Structure 1
Amino acid sequence: MKRRLVLAAGAAGAAAVSTPAWVGAQSAWPSRGPVRLIAQFPPGGLVDTVARLMAPHLSQAIGQTVVVENKPGAGGLIGTDQVAKAPADGYTLLVSHASVHIYAPATRNTMPFDAVSDFTHMAMLVEAPMVLLVRSQSPYQSLGQYVATAKTKQVRYGTSGIGSANHLFGELLKLDGQAPEHDHVPYQGSAPAMQDLLSGQIDGLFDPITTNVAQLKAGSLRALAVSTPARLPALPNIPTFAEQGFPSMTGSQWLGLSGPKNLPAPIVQRLTALMPEILAKPDVMARLEDLQTLPRKAPVLGEDFNKLIRSQIDTWTKVAKRAKVEVIV
């Protein structure tokens, strides 16, 4: 367990604060913290980054100590399951992740929890677009060339593992592009897959754009397509999958704020209202823009977030069945 104290809301200065946020927090959280914010992936990744970026603002707003705890393992299932089984008192929260709440239910034959009913999903925080990468020396200059080759000749693409969002995107391209030679090569994470891409062992890599922005701007990688509905303003030369004939390949890896089911209403209301405010803070927005991982312009909150999760589980379950992707555990 990796613990890190992000911000202590205490001592005389904090006690003297008399704002609506503080008054609301006192009535919602019956005792002093800490509030545990679970990041179900290792330190240094996107979940950890977003958790530590938001935690000081959250702590200040609710008047509670916020502690970020990394609980990695089993593709995020271990930390998420701990939150599902935690007391519903507002002292255990989760930076929820689409890979656990969408793609795992779509591909795994068993789950340790129900991705919707075992949680209180309060807000989508940010979305990380998927991108198809090739090395800069690759002969593929466009998605059309890449798919045309995979119709008759083996094109090997890497992902962070079987049943991942990356894998389902790759299989969807294979299906919709009628490219039977688009062959999946799974890795234990994106880092070893990137090494093999750069060395020419594989032809393409499906990965969230967040960890690849610097290499794309430097020119060591070429992106053939991005999964956003429109081109990214910061990377306008990357065309979308949709504009190249693959409208079904529009989606993302999102992060959200969730907790155990049956959280008290005052806590749910307070946290749901806070999330758009925190995401709009200049330091938070600047860091998210650096990562090309941004909140939606119209926040997805409360029941709308729950509906989106249910809809996406249904969509990607159908893709998994079409592609015959199933993770047996």
Structure 2
Amino acid sequence: MKATNKFLKPLAIIGLALGASTAGAAGWPDQTITMVVPYPPGGPTDIVARVAAQGLSEKLGQTVVVDNKAGAGGNIGADYVARAKPDGYTLLVATTAHAINMSLFKDLNYDTRTSFEPVSGLTEGPLVVVTRPDLGVKNVQELIKLAKSAEQPLTFASSGNGQSTHLSAELFNSMAGIKMTHVPYRGSAPAMTDIMGGQVDVMFNTMLSSMPYVKDGKMTALAVTSAKRSPAAPDLPTIAETGLYGYEATAWNGLLVPKGTPAEVVGKLNAALKDVMSQPEVQEKFSAQGFDANWMSPPDFKTYLDNEVSKWADVVKTSGATVN
């Protein structure tokens, strides 16, 4: 009898734990949800997060608060969520940077592919290739031709080492067989100032930041980096259309939760997001930031993440990009 009890007691404890977990998932959400944005307030990712948080709050009947935990290229916020309790009450708004950082940083405390459960994509949008107004090129092929023939290498600006504005241009360098010289800045605003002032030749930048200056004639837009043309600038071709077949680079946001979050909670979050992101007013708010709504099932978003990590690892390796 004692031997039987010896084995039954641990099994009972496991059963109670599983029961508590199931009950917790069934009752989710019954308290405030925190959506961690790993960047400062006011930027595109923060704005997207606040739109999503408001919609989720209305759908789920619980407050969803946005908590900005900026720093280290998005790593501080990601690490915080990776270590959070996997109960569905702490969410991460991940970005392209969290795919890039996997190979850019050598000492991360988290793994974008294995430290989280994927919930869904949120938004996706292209960058736009812009040049200083007097560079004298009107399309991508002319830019490539100039880069190959110029006595001095052309220069391209970015909002910082390892950012999507940097590595999308490095991918272009590699696929076009050219070598424009990288000039990193602390943010896109000073980079655009130097593009317009003629100190730098080219930039792969967000549409939201760039298009007002393009319309004013202060910069020239050549193409967008996505696989399809952008509704925000339908007359601009894609880079792939111009002859660089297979080129694609986008800025995206997606939702992750800590590894071990119950599948039922992930499913509820995903379903709520699908409803939120199907609303025309939400899509309009995303569009105003230069993004399209990008809902996915959890398995599809996992595949998307894995592909992004692999893709940018190749670009980092080829370009020799560092964060130093």
TM-score by structure 2 length?
A: 0.87
What per-residue deviation string (whole Å, max 9, x for no partner) do you get for residues 244-294 of structure 1? 122232121110111111112221110011112111112211112223300
1:1-329 equivalences in 2 (<5 Å): 27-29=26-28, 31=30, 33-100=31-98, 102-153=99-150, 154-180=153-179, 182-296=180-294, 299-327=295-323
The CA deviation at 1:48 is 0.6
Contact 1:213 1:292 in 2 (8 A): no
Which range moves more in the overlay, 233-242 or 118-127?
A: 233-242
The CA deviation at 1:230 is 2.1
2:68 corresponds to which letter in structure 1?
Answer: N
* Helix, strand or coil at the partner of 2:141: helix
Contact 1:131 1:225 in 2 (8 A): yes
Which range moves more in the overlay, 319-328 or 143-152?
A: 319-328
C-alpha distance in 2 between matches for 1:28 and 1:217: 51
2:173 corresponds to which letter in structure 1?
Answer: K
Call closer, same or farther: CA 1:137–1:64 in 2, change over 3 Å: same
Contact 1:148 1:179 in 2 (8 A): no
The CA deviation at 1:44 is 1.1
Structure of higher CA gyration radius: 2
Contact 1:80 1:94 in 2 (8 A): yes
Superposed CA RMSD in Å reads 2.0
- The runs of 5 or more residues in structure 1 that have no matched partner are 1-23
1:313 corresponds to which letter in structure 2?
Answer: V
1:319 corresponds to which letter in structure 2?
Answer: V
Which range moves more in the overlay, 133-142 or 81-90?
A: 133-142
C-alpha distance in 2 between matches for 1:209 and 1:30: 36
Contact 1:105 1:317 in 2 (8 A): yes
C-alpha distance in 1 between matches for 2:217 and 2:204: 17
C-alpha distance in 2 between matches for 1:227 and 1:54: 25
TM-score by structure 1 length?
A: 0.85
* Helix, strand or coil at the partner of 1:44: coil
C-alpha distance in 1 between matches for 2:24 and 2:214: 43
Contact 2:132 2:200 in 1 (8 A): no
* Helix, strand or coil at the partner of 1:104: helix
1:146 corresponds to which letter in structure 2?
Answer: L
Contact 1:35 1:91 in 2 (8 A): yes
Match for residue 20 of structure 1?
A: none
The CA deviation at 1:26 is 9.0
* Helix, strand or coil at the partner of 1:289: helix
C-alpha distance in 1 between matches for 2:241 and 2:263: 43
* Equivalent residue pairs, number: 300
Contact 2:127 2:249 in 1 (8 A): yes
1:177 corresponds to which letter in structure 2?
Answer: A
Identity %: 34
Contact 1:107 1:327 in 2 (8 A): yes
C-alpha distance in 2 between matches for 1:195 and 1:94: 32
